[in-house]
Amino acid sequence: MLEGKKIAIGVSGSIAAYKIVHLVRLLVKQKAVVKVMMTPAARDFVSPLTLSTLSKNEVLIDIASGNTWANHVELGRWADLLLIAPLSCNTLAKMAQGHCDNLLLSVYLSATCPVMVSPAMDEDMWHHPATQKNIEQLKAFGHIVLTPGYGELASGLIGDGRMEEPETILRQIEAFFENMPGKDLKGKKVLVTAGPTQEALDPVRFIGNHSSGKMGYALAKECRQRGAHVVLVLGPAPAVMQQDLSGITLIKVVSAEEMYRACMDHFPSADIALMAAAVADYRPATVSDTKIKKQENDLELTLVKTRDILAALGAVKNSRQVLLGFALETNNEEVHALEKLHKKNADYIVLNSLNDGAAFGADTNKITIYSKTGEKTGFASKSKQAVAKDIIDTILKTGTTTI
Ligand code: CTP
């Protein structure tokens, strides 16, 4: 079942590192392709030579050695799964904080694949509130955490903190690939809008908003990972342009009207449309060809309504298409969200409130999903990537369509 699966294993400094030798054997026996990296501290617990012999690949430890530089970005993009085991208390804390002082951490920070961790530490360290907070942080990032078991520890004490046995980790890896996101949207086309729009006043000024585009990008990434053909219609969002957009059809737009046209072009052939953009509701009635000069008196602007893209797609959608919109609210949240759901003929509305965890540019979001069939599902505050997964899982689980 694991044949050809690319698994990167990061070993950090813990006595449990010896168990990785057996795990690598089990994975290679199943014909998985395994590449191991270690923190410098892990070298004291297990030999790189043993791991490189068993994995049949060089074991990476240092970011640079001699004149060669280990390409951490490449390894993070190569893997189908990054497993960090054993995960020491120290490496856990650094991952939660985004520190990057060794190769393993730089691979972790640049990895585009799912991440699984198997912590190993003494019982008191495991139960310390700081450790538990860090574990919650990793879960919020969307990582799979294999809770350590109860048993004899390196200190001689008996308690929680014992790293899972190699056979158990293997079963978890198998289960991960069995349920792996990546197949359930294969052959589907997903249209995503993201970012703000800018409505020009003159050649140098515009009306815009604070949208970073991160939520829309997280959705596009999730759908790409699950095998969809993704068309991302993106307003001016510099943070998104710095992300990995490979495998995504990118259509860059500036104004609401351009976004509307791109969506109308692509929607007829789309199976799912996810409208995460913060589209301007109004644009200046006229756009000056030259820079508007400062006047003696105040300047009055006349604004006219833009087209509502979500409502326009809702008006033409067929029964096999899924249409999802967002509602960012500050008051009367549920009432407004339900109003948008029905008025725009969407199948789902994702509510996020500025009073309850949502913030422009943030990396986390807290959402409630309302469906046209009357379901309401609330979620805890999570990373935008984990929120994207919840949204797609909800569509596929509750979908009233043939998706
Ligand atoms: N939307 C859209 N086109 C617009 C305005 C909004 O497609 N011209 C979409 C957004 O992408 C989002 C949903 O409609 O998915 C709701 O957007 P929101 O700004 O919350 O609602 P509005 O309809 O603009 O209402 P209001 O600003 O009064 O809350």
Tokens standing for 134?
Answer: 């860090």
- pLDDT-derived band at 402 (thresholds 50, 70, 90) equals very low
Nearest atom in ligand 1 to 326's CA = 15
Contacts of 309 (CB under 8 A, 6+ apart): 193, 256, 259, 260, 263, 275, 277, 279
Mean pLDDT of 53-66: 87
Q: 83 pairs with which residues across the strands?
A: 9, 116
Residue 148 CA to residue 164 CA, distance in Å, equals 6
Residue range(s) occupied by CATH 3.40.50.10300 in the chain: 189-287+301-398
Find out whether the beta carbon of 219 lies less than 6 Å from any atom of ligand 1. Answer: no
Name the CATH superfamily housing domain 189-287+301-398: CoaB-like (3.40.50.10300)
Is the pLDDT higher at 254 or at 156? 254
Q: What one-character-per-residue DSSP string does 230-250 give?
A: EEEEE-S-HHHHTS--TTEEE
What digits encode the pLDDT tens for the residues 115-157?
999 999 999 999 999 999 999 999 988 899 999 988 887 777 7
Atom of ligand 1 at shortest distance to CA of 280? 8
Radius of gyration of the chain (CA): 24
75-84 per-position pLDDT tens digit:
888 999 999 9
CA of residue 210 to ligand 1 center, whole Å: 14
Nearest atom in ligand 1 to the alpha carbon of residue 310 is 7
287 Cα: distance to centroid of ligand 1 (angstroms):
23
**CATH class of the structural domain 6-179:** alpha beta
Give the atom of ligand 1 at the shortest distance from the alpha carbon of 193. Answer: 11
Is pLDDT at 348 greater than 90 in this prediction?
A: yes
pLDDT-based confidence at residue 225 (cuts at 50, 70, 90): confident
Q: How many residues does the chain have?
A: 403
Q: Where in the chain is the domain with CATH 3.40.50.1950?
A: 6-179
The alpha carbon of 308 and the centre of ligand 1 are apart by a number of angstroms equal to 7
pLDDT class for 244, splitting at 50, 70, 90? confident
Q: Is 176 in the pocket of ligand 1 (CB under 6 A)?
A: no
Regarding the beta carbon of 349 and ligand 1, being less than 6 Å apart is answered: no
Alpha helices by DSSP H, listed for 210-293, are 214-225, 238-241, 256-266
Is 326 close to ligand 1, i.e. is its CB under 6 Å away? Answer: yes
Indicate which residue's Cα is closest to atom 8 of ligand 1. Answer: 308
Reported confidence tier of residue 46, pLDDT bands at 50, 70, 90: very high
* Mean residue pLDDT across the chain: 92
User: Given this model, what pLDDT does residue 401 score?
Assistant: 47
What's the whole-model pTM score?
0.64
Whether pLDDT at 399 is above 70 = no
What is the distance between the alpha carbons of residues 142 and 389, in angstroms, rounded to a whole number?
Answer: 9
What is the CA(376)–ligand 1 centre distance, in A? 20
**Residue 383 and residue 141 in contact, taking contact as beta carbons nearer than 8 Å:** yes
Task: State how far the alpha carbon of 208 is from the alpha carbons of 195, 202, 205, 273, 330, in Å.
Answer: 10, 13, 10, 23, 19
pLDDT at residue 157, as a whole number: 79
Residue with CA at minimum distance from ligand 1 atom 9? 310
The pLDDT, as a whole number, for residue 62 is 87
Ligand 1 centre to CA of 180 (Å) is 33
Bigger pLDDT: 249 vs 362: 249
Cite the active site residues. Answer: 209
pLDDT digits (tens, 9 = 90+) for 261-300: 999 999 999 999 999 999 999 999 999 999 999 999 999 9
What pLDDT, on the 0 to 100 scale, is given for residue 131? 97
